A = this chain, B = another copy of it.
Amino acid sequence: MKLAEMTVGQLVDALSSSEPTPGGGTAAAIAGAMGTSLLIMVTGLAKSRNNTDEEKRALAKAREQLQPLATHLTKLADADSESFNAVMAAYRLPKATDDEKAARSRAIQDALRGATIVPLDTLRACADALAQAQAVAQHGNRAAASDAGVAVALLRAAAAGAHANVRSNLESIKDEEFTSSTDAAAARLSAAAVADASTAMQALA
């Protein structure tokens, strides 16, 4: 069942079950989608902070960037579970002969790369949403400041959670070129996410 079709009650139950998926990567992507959606909500309010045309243009521009990110993060919630299921399927491959062992090992490594790219993509989408958060925090209606604050907190938590998942998968990957470039990309995105979240929070204070 696709997560987007699952009810919130079913999602909460599924996360608490000892089944391997959905897990933290999926929860992070959903939190990121919720945070992005709250920012979109603020950009769509009839009034901006000082109700100037310039503010409204800035909010419309942020909205345009944010809308595809909310959709993408919702899809990443499913992609995360699917990629983790692929890793477990690879671990279950036969390993009786040397050929089977080599094929299984390759399949595991391929699946792990796939399962690392998904939370990296979640981290990137959260960082991209947080890059728009400053404009929303600065120009959005003050009556929605606490909504924007929740949005930023959720996106920062989602980015941190996605980063933890990237690092956790990298531990089992043997391709050093992949691990070092992915690790560096994740660190850069994470630093940008933290900085943008902090700037947005200051604009809301």
Contacts and interface: CB of A to CB of B under 8 A. Distances in A.
A-side interface size class: 35 or more
Contact of A41 (B23, B44, B151): B23
Contacts of A51: none
A125 interface: no
A17 B67 CA distance: 11
The 9 lowest CB-CB distance pairs between A and B, nearest first, are A24-B150, A4-B9, A150-B161, A157-B157, A15-B37, A16-B37, A24-B147, A153-B157, A16-B40
Contacts of A36: 16
Q: Count chain B CB atoms within 10 A of each CB in A4, A28, A36, A161 and give the residue with the most.
A: A161
Q: Count chain B CB atoms within 10 A of each CB in A70, A77, A168 and give the residue with the most.
A: A168
Contact of A34 (B4, B18, B27, B153): B27
Interface string A1-40: 0011111110111011110000111011011011111101
B44 A15 contact: no
15 contacts: A4-B7, A6-B7, A8-B11, A8-B74, A12-B37, A16-B37, A17-B41, A18-B45, A23-B147, A24-B146, A28-B154, A31-B31, A146-B164, A153-B157, A154-B157
Interface in A23-81: 23-25, 27-28, 30-31, 33-38, 40-41, 44-46, 67, 70, 74, 77
Contacts of A13: 37
Given A41-B15, A165-B150, A34 B31 contact: yes
A25 B151 CA distance: 10
Contacts of A153: 28, 157-158, 160-161, 164
